[in-house]
Amino acid sequence: MIVIESISDMRQWSERQRRGRQRIVLVPTMGFLHEGHLCLVRAARLRGDLVVASIFVNPAQFGPGEDFATYPRDFERDRRMLEDEGVDVLFHPAVQQFYPAGAQTFVVVEKLSLPLCGSVRPGHFRGVATVVAKLFNIVRPHVAIFGEKDYQQLQVIRRMVRDLGMDVEVVGHPIVREPDGLAMSSRNVYLTSAERQAALCLSRALCKAERLVRRGEIAAAAIVARVLADLTTEPLATVEYVKLCDAETLNEVDAVREPALLALAVRIGKARLIDNRVLKH
Ligand code: AMP
């Protein structure tokens, strides 16, 4: 595996591979890797000839008072994990080079960025869309893989690619969970053991909602109320939102007629956890 830090070296590598008709698959990450990231890497391997994983904790997607400075980092461990997975290139740019002083150009995916996490993290998806657009320009992948754990992020990127005519195939990967159901996340390290136990309330609530729909309950009000009631019985959890939305537009819906996204954000201790499930009637 080659580690590339410079933007121009990354560009040159990709140009060379493209001239050699190699198909490049990109897996963008913020590092502190876990099995969820590695599943994306394995999926990437199946979709092309060469896998590039990027590690970049993107300051532009963190708001003031969020955890940019304390976001967990362990480059050496990440490097070994990616090497063991047979990744071809680890792209690890420095913040100063990635965002040159005076940068004033951003990508804004207007409507999709507003609900859910966008409503509590203003500017977050502008930071995400901008960094991903820039990674696409530098790495020039044929395919890029993103997790459905960050469902809104995936929809924002799909929309950006369509709207700007970018020549990248965007592939979603199902949520990877711990054996007890907790969605894997770099931020799970923030949880104490009691909080880790409490965090199971998210996946439990999603399973319950799925059972409700299977039994014929399609009204958003009823489903959301049941999920909220369950989450609020967990004393360590503070609910940020529970929403039922159209799975494509992310507009709120009043019933599960078309596939609907049930999306949760919950604070437990220092961690802000998100999880979701697409419900189908
Ligand atoms: P992050 O490093 O948290 O920015 O995540 C990098 C990529 O991995 C994103 O596309 C995430 O959606 C994806 N990802 C993170 N956790 C999971 C998970 N538990 N299951 C599937 N994909 C994930």
The 10s digit of each residue's pLDDT in 227-236 is: 999 999 999 9
- pLDDT confidence of residue 219: 98
- pLDDT confidence of residue 147: 98
Catalytic residue among 37, 124, 142, 173: 37
Q: What is the mean pLDDT of residues 249-260?
A: 98
Rounded Cα distance, 153 and 181, in Å? 21
As a whole number, the mean pLDDT across the chain is 98
Query: Which amino acid, residue 17?
Result: Q
Rounded Cα distance, 228 and 237, in Å? 11
Question: Quick check: 109 and 160 in contact, CB under 8 A?
Answer: yes
The 10s digit of each residue's pLDDT in 257-280 is: 999 999 999 999 999 999 999 999
- pLDDT confidence of residue 170: 99
**Is the entire prediction scored with pTM above 0.85?**
yes
Q: Inter-axis angle of helices 200-214 and 220-232, to 10 degrees? A: 150
The 10s digit of each residue's pLDDT in 88-144 is: 999 999 999 999 999 999 999 999 999 999 999 999 999 999 999 999 999 999 999
pLDDT band for position 6 (cuts 50, 70, 90): very high
The residue nearest atom 17 of ligand 1, judged by CA position, is 36
Q: Which of 173, 134, 189, 147 is nearest to 11 (CA)?
A: 134
Best of 25, 27, 29, 175 for a ligand 1 pocket test (most atoms within 8 Å of beta carbon)? 29
Asked if 37 is an active-site residue, the reply is yes
- The verdict on the CB of residue 173 being under 6 Å from ligand 1 is yes
Question: Quick check: 166 and 173 in contact, CB under 8 A?
Answer: no
pLDDT band for position 198 (cuts 50, 70, 90): very high
- pLDDT confidence of residue 63: 97
The 10s digit of each residue's pLDDT in 43-62 is: 999 999 999 999 999 999 99
